[in-house]
Every structure is written in C-alpha cells, then in structure tokens.
A and B are shown apart, each in its own frame.
Chain A
Amino acid sequence: MDALVAQLQMQYRNYTVSLYQQGFLDDQFTELKKLQDDASPDFVAEVLSLFFEDCVKLIGNMARALDQTGTVDFSQVGASVHQLKGSSSSVGAKRVKGLCITFKEYCEANNYEGCVRCLQQVDIEFKALQTKLQDMFNLEKQIIQAGGKVPQVDIN
C-alpha cells in the first residue's frame, strides 16, 4: 500500500512540476494551494471549477461576439478578455493569461484575424489545462483513496 502511495505521490509530484515547467501554471497556483487548508479543503477545486465555468462562459461570449457578421464589437470582446485575464491570473493559469494579454492587444487593435486566432488558442489552452488539472485532481484523489497525503510540491 505504501509503495503505491509513494508511487502515486511521486507521479503527482512529477506531474505537478511538469505543469509548472510547461508553463501551464505559475506561482499564483501555489499561492492558491496555500490557501487551502482544513477549513476549506476543496478551496482549490472550487476556485478552479469557478474558473472553468467562467472560462466556458467567457469563451462563449467572445465566440458569439466574434461571430457577428458585419461589425464586431471589439470592446465587448475586450471586456471578456479582461475578465478572463483577471480570472486566469488569479488562479495562476499562466498560458491562458499570456494568451489573454495577446488577445487583448488584438482587441485593442481591432484585429479580427488575431482575435479569432487567439480565441481558438485560448479555447485549446483552457481545455488542455482543464484536462491536466483534472488529471492532477484524479491523482490527488487516488492518493487520498490510497490513504496517503497529497504532498506539497515545491516548485523551486
């Protein structure tokens, strides 16, 4: 049993580190994890689910806004991007955040092509992140089920 736990823990550690290294996550995620304690054991999951819901909603908004034939309301897109940027930086979704910044530039420049491209990328990134994090949570769950403790991952 312990071997399994150790293995899972190792896997979890490696996986988390790889997420950081691949730039999916940044320090803010660490901060977020720090906020999770016994008083709020599902804090991270809660925030992330909020984030993903937010993402889906915002991406939908943006897609709709960009789908408009004729005039595209870039300010509306921009507002959504800004929201997304704020959310992603809050949870430490580094890649999404980075994309949002680029996205915002395109919005301000009223660059339709760029916006569409960014929107697609954001969608891809966000889904990738969702998958990765889902994997991570699954790992966590497995560890807990195996009776182990989710290890603190020191990124540095």
Chain B
Amino acid sequence: MQQCSILSQLITDMNWALNNNPNPEEKEPKSSDLYHLGAIDLPEKPRKIEFWRSGLMGFAKMQLQQQHSVAVKMNNNGNNDRVGNNNKKGSTFIQEHRGLLPKGLILWTIFVGFISRGIYQWMDDTSKVRREEVLVSMCDQRARMLQDQFSVSVNHVHALAILVSTFHYHKNPSAIDQGTFAEYTARTAFERPLLSGVAYAEKVVNAEREMFERQHNWVIKTMDTGEPSPVRDEYAPVIFSQDSVSYLESLDMMSGEEDRENILRARETGKAVLTSPFRLLASHHLGVVLTFPVYKASLPKDPTVQERIAATAGYLGGAFDVESLVENLLGQLAGNQAIVVHVYDITNASDPLVMYGNQDEEGDTSLYHESKLDFGDPFRKHKMICRYLQKAPIPLNVLTTVPLFFAIGFLVGYILYSAGVHIVKVEDDFHEMQELKVRAEAADVAKSQFLATVSHEIRTPMNGILGMLAMLLDTELSSTQRDYAQTAQICGKALIALINEVLDCAKIEAGKLELESVPFDIRSILDDVLSLFSEESRNKGIELAVFVSDKVPEIVKGDSGRFRQIIINLVGNSVKFTEKGHIFVKVHLAEQSKDGAESKPALNGGVSEDMIVASKPSSYNTLSGYEAADGRNSWDSFKHLVSEEDLLSSSEFDASSSNVRLMVSIEDTGIGIPLAAQGRVFMPFMQADSSTSRTYGGTGIGLSISKCLVELMRGQISFVSRPRIGSTFWFTAVFERCDRCSLKKPTVENLPSAFRGMRAIVVDAKPVRAAVTRYHMKRLGISVDVMTSLRTAVSTVTASSGRNGSPLPSSGTTKLDMILVEKDSWISTEDIDSEIRQMNSRTNGNVHHKSPKLALFATNITNSEFDRAKSAGFADTVIMKPLRASMIGACLQQVLELRKTRQQHPEGSSPATLKSLLTGKKILVVDDNMVNRRVAAGALKKFGAEVVCAESGQVALGLLQIPHSFDACFMDIQMPQMDGFEATRQIRMMEKEAKEKTKLEWHLPILAMTADVIHATYEECLKSGMDGYVSKPFEEENLYKSVAKSFKANPISDSSCSQS
C-alpha cells in the first residue's frame, strides 16, 4: 500500500513535471517533502526511498539542465532576457540597430522631401529661364517690328517732305497748292496708315509776315486760341494740310511750346523729330507728332546747324497714332494675349511717359523685359516693357514629377524600412526557432532519459507491489478479496510490461539497444511462448500451434530474449485480436520458402493421395479450417514444406554460410487490420484506430519495437492482412549458425528421451494440424503416421492386430504405441465410440502385446465431451492444446506410465551443491566495511572456500598481481578512493597486459557485491568487466546462482568469456 502511494506520488510528480514547473528550485523542496514523508512513514522501506529520491533528484537536475519542452513553452516569458542575450550574441547589424529603423525612416523621408524640393526649385528655375527667354524674344521682336513700322512711316513723311521741297520751292511758281497737297496726301494716305494726317507749315520770319498774310489771305493764328498770332520772330503757319487735319491751316505751329521745340530741333538736325506723347484730338489715342524739316536749297555736305536753319523752308508734320500702331502690330503677332506690352517715352528718365499700354493692366510684375526703341529721333528715347499677362503657372510636369519623386522616394524608404523590420523579425524568429529547436532536441533527449529513468523508478516499487500481491494471494482471502488482489496483480504485470516496452522504445530511440549473441534453442523458445498464451487461447477456443521446419538448426546463436520478445508481441497481438480459428506460428529458413514455391509443381506428385482427398472444399486448408489472409500457410504451400523436409531432411542444406536466415510467420484468423490503417501499424503508439485501444487495450508500441528489433537482427518484418479474415505477420531474422556449440544451460524443458523409436498414429482430417502434431511428436522421437479419419485408423489397427497381433499396418516389425486422435475427427465421426472401445478392449485383452494407448487432442473440451471420451476409451488422457513437445511428452509419460528417467537437475540449490562449487576455491573478498567483509568471508567459508580479505581496491590490486592463485573475487562496489568498478577495470587491464606478455589467458571471475539490485548497476557491472553480481546481504540461493554461473562457465583456465 505504501509503495502504491509512492507510485501515485511519483506519477503526480511526473505529471507535475510534465505540466511544467518553470522554477526548478521548487523541485527540491517537493522531492524532499516526498522524501520526508517517505522517511517518516516508511522506515522499513528506506532503501527504496533513497533510490527513489535519487531518481527524482536526477530528474530535477535534468530539468535544470534541459528545460522540458512543455516547461519551455510556459517559460518563454521568464526566459526572454536569456533569449535577448542569445540574440545579441548571434545577431546581425540590422538586428543590433533595430531601434534606428524608425528614425532612419523619418530621416529618409525628410531627405527625400529636401531632394523633392530641390528638384522643384530646379525645374521651376528652368521654366522661369525659358519663360524669360521667351519673353525677351517676344519683346525684342515686338520692339523691332514697331521700330520698323515706325521708320517706314517716317520715311513716307520724309518722302512727302522732299515732295514739298521739290514741287513747292524748286518749282516756280509752286506746283503745289492746298488742293493738290490735300488730294495727294489723301490719295497716298494708305502709305501712312498710322499718321492721322500730315500738314506743311512754312517758315515765316516776322518780316515776311505781312507779305505772307496778304499772299494767303489769312492771318497767322496761334494754336491754342485760334486768335491771330502775336508778333514773334518767326512763325510756322500751316499752309498745306491733309483734309483730316484741315483745321490746322493757318495755325502757327510754333505757337505751341512743344511744337516749337520740335520744329527747332528738326531744322537743326535735319531729321524727323517726335513730340512727347499726348492724346490725339480726334481719336483720343496716344500719339506723337512727327516733324520733318524741309530745306529750300540743297544743303552742303555736312551742313552746320546755322546753315540748316538758314536753309529751312518749312516743316512737315504728322500726328502719329502710336497706340494704333502698337495695337496693330501686336495684333499681327502670335502670343499676343500672353504678354502685356507697354511703350514708354523715357526722354525724361525720371518721369517715363506712357505711349502705349494700359497702366492698370499690370500683368505678372515679377518678370519683365525692356527693349530699347529707336524711332529715329536721337533726342527722344523710348523703351518697350513686356510682361506676361498671367503669373507663371506651376508647370504640370513639375506638379507631377515632384510628388511622384517624393512618393517613390518615400516608398523606397518605407520598403527598406519594412524590409529591415522584416529582417529583424525573421532573424528574431530564426533565433527563437533555433533556441526552440535546441530546446526541443534537448527535451527529446530529456524525454527519453526521463522515460528511461522514470520507468526504471517505477519498476522497483512495482516489483514490490507485485511481490506483495503475490504474497497477499498466498494468504487466506475471501473470494472478493482474492479477485481484487488478482486484478491488481494483473494490472501491475501489465504496467510492468508496458514500462518495459517504453524502456525498450527509449533505448531503441537512443540507439542503445544492443543484441547479445548467445546460443539458444528456437524450438524451446517457441514452446515457451506458446505456453504463455495457451491459457488465453484455450479460453477463447483458438487453436494455437507452432511448427518449426526441420531444416532450421536446433541451436542458433542470437539474442534469444529479443527474438522471444518479437514472437510474444506478434503472437500476443494475434491472440488479442482473434476470437475464433487459429494462430499458427511457423518457422523455416527464408531460402526454404522460395524453394518451396518454385518447386511446387514438381513436388505435387509426391504428396500422398489421402491428404489431398481430405481437403474439404467447404473449409480452407488451414490449421483450423478458417480462411487465412495469407495463402502461404495453407496446406497447398505448407505441404511442400513438409514433404520437402521428408525428402530432403537427410540431405545436407547449405551449411557453407555461417549465418542462417529464418523466416517466422504468425498467422491468425482474427479481425485483421483495416486497409486504411495498414500503412501505420509499425509506427509507434499507432493502433489501427482509436476504438481498437478501447476494445482491446494496448499501447500500439509493440509492433514498432518488434520492427526495430527485427531490423537489428538484419531482417524485415511485414504482414498481409485482410479485414475480418485475418492477418499474417512474418519476419526474417539472421542468426549465427551454431552447430557445434552446446547450450551453456541445458534447456529447462529437456525433452524426455524415453519415446525414441516409438510409433504413433495421428488421426486428423486437417493436414496442417496433423503436420504440426507430427512435428512435435518427431521432436520426441516418435515417428508418426497420419490418418485422416478415425474410422480408417480404427479399422487399420483392429485389422492388423487381428491378423498378426502387430498393430502397425505397414511394417510388422515395430509395434504401434499410441493412437492420437484430434477431437474434431473424433466428434465428427459418429458411432465410433463403440468401435474404439472394442478395439481398446480387444487389444487390452492381448497380454502379449501392449495395446496402443489412446489419447485425444483438444483445444477445449466440455464436461460432457470429456465424459463421452472417457466412456469411449480415451480414458488414458486428453492432451490439451496448444501442443508443446514437452507437454505431449509429459502426458504421454503419464499414459504410458513410463518412469521418467530422473534427470539430474544440475541446478539443485542445496548448500551441498554450493559447497561442492566453492570447496577449495580461493576467494578474495574486497570490501571497505569490516563487518561486511567478515560476514561475506563467513558465508563463503561456510561453503568451504578459502577466503582472503582486502579492505580496499588498491589492496585487492596488490593481491591480484599476476600470477595469483585466486579463483574468484567478490568486490564491493561502493568503496572510498577506488570503487569496485574501477578496481575491476584495472584488474582486467592487468590481465590484458599479462596476456600480451605471457600469452597466458587470465580471467578472474569478479562478482560485484551490491545492495542495489537495479538493472543499471548490473549493466555497469558488466561494462566494467565484472562477471556478475550478488546482492548484499548474501542469500544462499542468490549466491549460488551467481557463483555457479561464472564458475561453471569458467573452469578457471578456460576463458570463453569474451568480455574484458
């Protein structure tokens, strides 16, 4: 009970460990809590607790070192700082500067903004320059054209002036009068479109005024008032005028201040002279008056001003409509609307006078261009100013380019940023993954170790539980109590089996499983396995049979335990999943199955007729008659195997190779494996489907272990399965041939040899089953004839015994010893009982001949059937299946009342035997504990051994210097300074050296003395070169076993042990 509580405590503990505890420190108090509890409650089981605790502590340490996967997950927060550190360790540049990423993005954005702005500036400047260029060219063009037009008009006036001079002054009398002038000017007005009108004023000095006034019949009037002019030095009255300006006639042009200046200037320079702009009377346009001098006589070259004045005859003038002129001009040019043109008179630089242009119409003031205008008057200066009408619009390409550039730049920045962020994230993830991977791997290792450790730990108390239960079952219990205890025991055994499987699994995963190589007898192993399942199969009514081909060597070398494990697993599965029919284990050489299949047609003729007849069409030719998944085991192919054996059993098989490849097939007629699940049967923890585990239990670990084991044995495992029909698993395994080696330990089930040479008839309608029976009988040395029906057998026996007393049908020389009848054959044969009885009684009556004994084979038998069997004469015995050679032997012994030749049991564990083993042997006992040493010495002395004691490993080494006379050494494991393992290793080393030097082989059997009987210690013992161990305190039986093992195997000088 107490152990149960420990167990449950442990399981809770395991759960707790698995369900994670991030603080390994908490582990300590807990385990020691457990320990306290155990120590107080269980003073009588202290060793186990100690052991227990060390296991837990070990696990706790393991936890510390390698966080369990589950714990890891929950632990993430706690471990973050560690993760961070790790990242820093293996991080890249980007990761280290992750904080700069957003700043970088912002900086980049600002940078791109600046660049964009620069681009904008540049483009704007470019467009401005272009605009200015355009403006300049347009302005210059306009100015030039204006100038041209103007000068054309001036030329026309000049021409008119020449006309006047020619025809008015050079002709005498004058050819021109007002009428002519008016007509001419009117008719040539087209040439001067911009001159509103021209007029000619004559130079009149005051002296000539009166004459002039008389001549013309009018008085000279002033311009402003129209009154007759006051007296002046000189007058310039208009004498000719175009019609449009006829109002000018008789007006003194010199009366106007400006006009007078003009006139004076004109006659001084001899060139056209302009007035400042003024509003014209008629059109209200701005205009200027153009004045041109007319000279009387031809002037000398380079005339002086005086000469010019003197030569002046008059003045020709015209009003120039500048506004119209410019308007007209601009109208002719493209791009008129785009620019604003102003024309100024800048003779007085400080006060420019507008000649053209709306002063309000400012246009784009930011940009303008001035062009000089030369209207031919050196005194007057003019300029043209051009402006754009509208402010420069922001160009479309700038509008598109710059934002686009900015957008692209920003996007690039953002892409880089997110790439950086992504890289950081990916690398973080990568590191995290790496971390997790490491932890997962560690967790996997930890899992395996944990499983192994815990399994080990559980096994120890479980053994206690099982032992206690066994003892409990031996006491007097009520049926209910017994039932409970038995159930508990069964469960415990199942748990142990499961734990062993888990351990195996963990070992296989860790690659630590190694196969041993010892000679063993396959047949007896199979018999053992069969006997394990006989109870269950019998209860279920399943036929369980084994058949080993004769070609399979009797003894092979290999790992019998593992081989047994595979078979137990497969047969166990079969038994579990089979409700009716049979389970048939067949072993033969792998080459044989091929041969059998190939030689099938050739051998067909060799099969005896009645066997073929016997096969009923309604049932299948398998062991039980049920259909099997794989046809290989049905009689059709099986008979070849059997008959081939008959034919070739004597001929030697391929003995050249040292290995033998066996094929074992296990056929059942169970539920089969669903097709969908067939692919994963060999995967661990996978069952056909989840309902399977509910119905049948089990973990699904067995097959995967079997697969691993088979592969370790250099074989393959496979299966054929048909749902609801059955499965046939088969595997191959390679063993070493071991023809000469004999088993160290004689098989426990040494088959009795008393049956050799006997003959028997087996009555069985099913040839496969008959073959199996024959196989077992053959092993007992009984030769068998198979009859398919009981009636035939009875009649044969009766006839032969009636004829000559010899019951054997074919040969009269040997007697028939027994008739073995399969129950089915008997039941199916009606009314045979009496005949059997008759036969029985008749043969019994014959005193000279021992009658053949009758025996019945049955898988299960009911009471009534049993009674009937008894009455029919099968009084002798009913042999329950599954058949095993040893069991048949035992039963037949009973029947035939053979005195079993008493086998000398070599392992009688009497002190006498121990004494015989130990007497005279010199044994070294090494133990640091004086008391222990004395006890061990006492015990060994009691059995006649000569004992020498050593209190430490060093002393022992000194005593064991080769050559020495010790026959064995008992070594304590836990010793200060040099422990038993180390001492053993050194001893073995010494032996090795001695062997190299002297060619003499030394192998001192060393047995460990230990209080821990756990497996791990044992393994360690073997590893360090020990031969075995005895548990302290000494128990006779235990001691004997260990001693016998190493002493018998080693008759001192002989060292067949390969370990060292």
Give the B-binding residues of A (Cβ under 8 A).
Answer: 23, 28, 31-32, 35-37, 39-40, 43, 46-47, 50-51, 53-54, 79, 82-83, 86-87, 89-92, 94-95, 97-102, 104-105, 109
Pick out which of these stretches binds chain A: B40-48, B270-278, B476-484, B642-650.
B40-48
- Residue B1011, interface by CB 8 Å: yes
Check if B930 sits within 8 Å of A92, measured CB to CB. no
Q: Are B942 and A86 in contact (CB under 8 A)?
A: no
Q: A31-B1033, A35-B939, A101-B46 are contacts. A89–B976 as well, Cβ < 8 Å?
A: no
Distance, CA A98 to CA B41, complexed state (A): 12
13 CB contacts below 8 A, A to B, read: A23-B43, A35-B939, A39-B942, A50-B930, A54-B930, A86-B927, A89-B1033, A90-B935, A91-B935, A100-B46, A101-B46, A105-B49, A105-B50
How many A-B residue pairs lie within 8 Å, measured between CB atoms? 88
Q: Which of A46, A47, A92 has the most CB of B within 10 A?
A: A47
Q: Contact partner of B35 among A37, A39, A91, A105, CB < 8 A? A: A105
Question: A82 touching B974 by the CB < 8 A rule?
Answer: yes
Smallest Cβ-Cβ distance to B940: which chain A residue = A35
A99 to B39, CA, bound (A): 9
Residues of A within 8 A of B938 (CB): 32, 35-36, 40, 43, 47
- Verify A101–B930 contact, CB threshold 8 A: no
CB-CB under 8 A from A51, the residues of chain B are: 931
A51 to B1033, CA, bound (A): 15
Considering the complex of A and B, which 8 residue pairs feature the smallest CB-CB distances, nearest first?
A101-B46, A87-B931, A86-B929, A98-B43, A28-B1033, A90-B932, A90-B935, A35-B938
Q: When the two chains form their complex, are residues A101 and B47 in contact, meaning their CB atoms are under 8 A apart?
A: yes
User: Which residues on the A side are within 8 Å of B850 (C-beta)?
Assistant: none
Residue contact A40 to B941, C-beta cutoff 8 Å: yes
A152 CB, min distance to chain B CBs, angstroms: 16
Q: Is B1041 an interface residue (CB 8 A)?
A: no
Contacts of B50 in A (CB 8 A): 101, 104-105
A interface footprint on B1004-1033 (CB within 8 Å = 1, 0 otherwise): 000000010000000000000000000011
B508: min CB distance to chain A, Å: 33
* Closest beta carbon of chain A to B633's beta carbon, Å: 53
**Whole-angstrom CA separation of A92 from B966 in the bound complex:** 29
Knowing A28-B1033, A31-B1033, the reply to whether A102 touches B39 (Cβ < 8 A) is yes
Which residues from chain A contact B53 at a C-beta distance below 8 Å? 105
CB neighbours of B32 from chain A (8 A): 105, 109
Q: Are A87 and B930 in contact (CB under 8 A)?
A: yes
Choose one: B44, B942, B1011; the contact of A98 (CB below 8 Å).
Answer: B44
Q: Are A47 and B935 within 8 A (Cβ)?
A: yes
How far in angstroms is the closest Cβ of chain B from A32?
A: 6
Find chain A residues with CB under 8 A from B935 CB.
Answer: 32, 35, 47, 90-91
Contact between chains at A50 and B39 (CB < 8 Å) = no
- Confirm or deny: B928 has a beta carbon within 8 angstroms of a beta carbon on chain A: yes
User: Which of A79, A82, A102 is the most central at the interface, judged by chain B CB atoms within 10 Å of its CB?
Assistant: A102
Quick check: is B620 within 8 A (CB to CB) of the other chain?
Answer: no
Note all chain A residues with C-beta closer than 8 A to B931.
47, 50-51, 54, 86-87, 90-91
In the bound complex, residues from chain A placing their C-beta under 8 Å from that of B932 are 86-87, 90
Q: B360 within 8 Å of A by Cβ?
A: no
Extra A-B contacts (17), CB below 8 Å, given A98-B43, A101-B49? A23-B44, A31-B939, A31-B1033, A32-B938, A39-B942, A40-B938, A51-B931, A86-B1032, A87-B929, A87-B932, A89-B1033, A90-B931, A90-B1032, A100-B46, A101-B47, A105-B39, A105-B49
Residue of A with least CB distance to B1033: A28
Chain A residues with CB under 8 A of B939:
31, 35
Cα A28 to Cα B938 in complex, Å, equals: 13
Chain A CB within 8 A of B437 CB? no
Q: How far is the CA of A79 from the CA of B1036 in the complex (A)?
A: 29
Alpha-carbon separation in the docked complex, A31 to B1039 (Å): 13
Closest to A84 in B: B929
How many positions in chain B have a CB within 8 Å of any CB in the partner chain? 32
Q: For residue B59, give the distance in angstroms from its CB to the closest CB of chain A.
A: 15
In the complex, what residue of chain B is closest to A106 when comparing beta carbons?
B39
Q: How far is the CA of A92 from the CA of B341 in the complex (A)?
A: 134
* Residues of A with C-beta under 8 A to B609: none
Instruction: For residue B1035, give the distance in angstroms from its CB to the closest CB of chain A.
Output: 7
Give, as a whole number of angstroms, the nearest-CB distance from A51 to chain B: 5
Task: For the complex formed, measure the closest distance between the CB of A43 and the CB atoms of chain B, giving whole angstroms.
Answer: 5
Q: What sequence of 0s and 1s flags, for each residue 901-929 of chain B, a beta carbon within 8 Å of any chain A beta carbon?
A: 00000000000000000000000000111
B167 interfacial by beta-carbon distance below 8 Å: no
B719: Cβ under 8 A from any A Cβ: no
A37–B46 alpha-carbon span in the complex (Å): 32
| Contact of B212 with A by CB under 8 A | no
Contact of A90 among B39, B976, B1033 (CB under 8 A): B1033
B842 at the interface (CB under 8 A from A): no
Is B405 interfacial (CB-CB < 8 Å)? Answer: no
Q: Is the CB of B1035 within 8 A of A39?
A: no
Q: Which of B43, B50, B938, B1035 counts the most A-chain CB atoms under 10 A from its CB?
A: B938
Give Cα A100 to B380, complex, Å.
137
Interface residue B169 (Cβ < 8 Å from any Cβ of A): no
**Closest CB of chain A to B942's CB: distance in Å?**
5
In the bound complex, do residue B928 and residue A83 qualify as a contact, i.e. CB atoms below 8 Å apart?
Answer: yes
Nearest A residue to B929 via CB reads: A86
Please, which residue of chain A has its CB at the minimum distance from the CB of B1034? A31
Q: How far is B942's CA from A89's CA once the two chains are assembled, in angstroms? A: 20
Given that A101-B49, A104-B50, A105-B50 are contacting pairs, would A86 and B1011 also be in contact in the complex, using a CB cutoff of 8 Å? yes
B131 lies within 8 A of chain A by Cβ:
no
When distances are taken between beta carbons in the complex, the residues of chain B under 8 Å from A23 are: 43-44
A104–B929 Cα gap in the complex (Å)? Answer: 17
For the complex formed, measure the closest distance between the CB of A86 and the CB atoms of chain B, giving whole angstroms. 4
The verdict on B934 contacting chain A, using a C-beta distance below 8 Å, is yes
Contacts of A83 in B (CB 8 A): 928-929
Shortest CB distance A94–B (Å)? 8
Supposing A35-B939, A50-B934, A83-B928 touch, asked if A92 and B1033 sit within 8 A by C-beta, the answer is: yes
A109 to B1032, CA, bound (A): 26
Residue in A36, A39, A47, A102 whose CB lies within 8 Å of B43: A102
Cβ of A125 to closest chain B Cβ, rounded Å = 11
Q: How far is the CB of B629 from chain A (nearest CB, A)?
A: 55
**A47 → B minimal CB distance (Å):** 5
Q: How far is the CB of A53 from chain B (nearest CB, A)?
A: 8
Q: Which residues of B contact A90 (CB under 8 A)?
A: 929, 931-932, 935-936, 1032-1033
Is A98 touching B46 in the complex (CB atoms < 8 A)?
yes
Q: Roughly how many angstroms separate A35 CA and B972 CA in the complex, as a whole number? A: 20
B442 to chain A minimum Cβ distance, whole angstroms, is: 26
In the bound complex, residues from chain A placing their C-beta under 8 Å from that of B39 are 101-102, 105
How many Å lie between the Cα of A36 and that of B934 in the bound state? 12
* Bound form: Cα–Cα A43–B938 in Å: 7
B1011 and A89 within 8 A (CB): yes
CB-defined contacts of A31 to chain B, threshold 8 Å = 939, 1033-1036
Q: In chain A, what residue has the closest Cβ to B972?
A: A86
Q: Which of B935-952 contact A (CB under 8 A)?
A: 935-936, 938-939, 941-942
